[in-house]
Amino acid sequence: MKKKLKVLVLFDGISPTTVDQDFTKELKTKDWKTEADVMAALGSVGHTAEHLAIYDDVDLVRQKLETFAPDILFNLVEQFRNNPGFDQNIVSFFEMQGLAFTGCGSTGLTLCKHKGISKKILHYHGIHVPHFVVIPRGQRIARPKQLKFPILVKPVKEEASYGISQASFVDTDEPFRERVNFIHEKYNSDAIAEEYIDGRELYVSLIGNIRLTVLPIRELVFREVPPNEPKIAVRRGPRSAARHGYRGNVQTHLSSAYHRRLRAHRPAAGARQQGLFHRGEPKSNSRQR
């Protein structure tokens, strides 16, 4: 029988929290479904799970470690003081403390968060990525002629579709300039412009450190999008309104035949050793033509 563990599940707090704060009420709501599912799953396989939400004080982790002494942290923290840019710093803190934790390491989070850097690494390992250009703030906004329309314009470092809407899809120069300018000004972020790949959207989760397990591939099905419109995963609402999930789309399991075909296209072995796919789910998606 597998060893039963003491697991500390870490949540995102959306306002200051305390070490013994009870989230039972929140866990019953739709917005906390992921957290509730993790707690329930850990309990159902016999582990002892307690939770702690972090908002702006990592010392709470130290305090909780003194009273609960977990074997491992189950890390669901994606931001610090409502800023998702700090997810890698939280993980760096766990690494410095020598704590065992689930999910991506700090190097993987840092590399994958930058949509330009991650594509350069994938390309180096022979994985196809869309042609793209990064347009930093303060630089003249011009489309390089080799970048063909239609194009998707995104913040270079956001995640989970923040800053992405139907207006991100542009097919002429003026909307291109407007959207890049919008990302620079409204998101205070450099922009990345990628050629739009018309295809199916697949999500592949990996678990492991040296030897990786590939979990069943899921597909984001764009049931509500009319056939002539671009299929883009956009958010349900603003960052504060939806903790997880995308608007009106359904994820399903793929047929096992399609699954086998995809598994034949594994990333080059070298890519795994670079830490890009290190510990848990890689922070990049795939579009399959």
Ligand X SMILES: Nc1ncnc2c1ncn2[C@@H]1O[C@H](COP(=O)(O)OP(=O)(O)OP(=O)(O)O)[C@@H](O)[C@H]1O
- Give the residues lining the site for Mg ion (CB under 5 A): 285
Strand partners, 12: 54
Rounded to whole angstroms, the Cα distance separating 22 from 43 reads: 17
Member of 232, 277, 279, 282 binding ligand X (CB under 6 A): 232
Q: For ligand X, which residue has the nearest CB?
A: 159
Rounded to whole angstroms, the Cα distance separating 195 from 153 reads: 9
> What residue type is assigned to position 262 of the chain?
L
Q: What is the DSSP code string of 163-206?
A: T-SGGGEE-SHHHHHHHHHHHHHHS-S-EEEEEPP-SEEEE--E
Member of 23, 55, 94, 196 binding ligand X (CB under 6 A): 196
From the list 12-20, 30-38, 46-54, 189-197, the region that binds ligand X by CB under 6 A is 189-197
12: tokens are: 């995102």
- Rule CB under 6 A: is residue 206 a binding residue for ligand X? no
- Rule CB under 6 A: is residue 5 a binding residue for ligand X? no
Cβ nearer to ligand X, comparing 17 with 75: 75
Member of 87, 158, 190, 219 binding ligand X (CB under 6 A): 158
From the list 23-31, 54-62, 151-159, 208-216, the region that binds ligand X by CB under 6 A is 151-159
- Rule CB under 6 A: is residue 233 a binding residue for ligand X? yes
Cβ nearer to ligand X, comparing 21 with 288: 288
Element (H, E) at 42: helix 33-44
Structural contact between residues 16 and 83, judged by C-beta atoms closer than 8 angstroms: no
Cβ nearer to ligand X, comparing 17 with 189: 189
Q: Spell out the residues 6+ positions from residue 170 whose beta carbon is closer than 8 angstroms to its own.
A: 149, 150, 151, 152, 153, 176, 179
From the list 34-42, 94-102, 150-158, 237-245, the region that binds ligand X by CB under 6 A is 150-158
Residues that bind ligand X (CB under 6 A): 115, 130, 152, 154, 158-162, 164, 194, 196-197, 201, 232-233, 283-285, 287
